[in-house]
Amino acid sequence: MTDSRRVAWIAGAALCCALFAFAFVAAPASCEWGLETYAGAGLASVAVLAVMPFALRAGPTVAARAGLAALLVAAVAAAWFAGLFAANVRILCRLF
């Protein structure tokens, strides 16, 4: 494994852990600001991890970089959903 590929995996794992931990910060205020901020953090994480393998040149070909980007995006999406349900972030605050 090359150094740039290792950096991409470590950064992806760190970002997934940080996003999961942020769910517990945002959950108590999910009806005021938490849900919007948590969703924005998730979208920003997806954008960063989708671009990172290309910026680091983490693969020998474009297809390898795209595959690594897809794996990282899938990992951050799984961490986002896990944090959403583990922290009990409220999605629906009021019906009327």
28-40 pLDDT per residue, tens: 999 999 999 999 9
Residue spans of the domains in the chain: they are 3-86
pTM of the model: 0.89
* CA-to-CA separations, 67 to 28, 32, 54, 58, in angstroms, rounded: 36, 37, 11, 10
C-alpha 83: how far from chain center: 10
Q: What is the pLDDT of residues 41-65, one digit of tens each?
A: 999 999 999 999 999 998 899 999 9
Alpha-carbon torsion (56, 48, 77, 79), positive or negative: positive
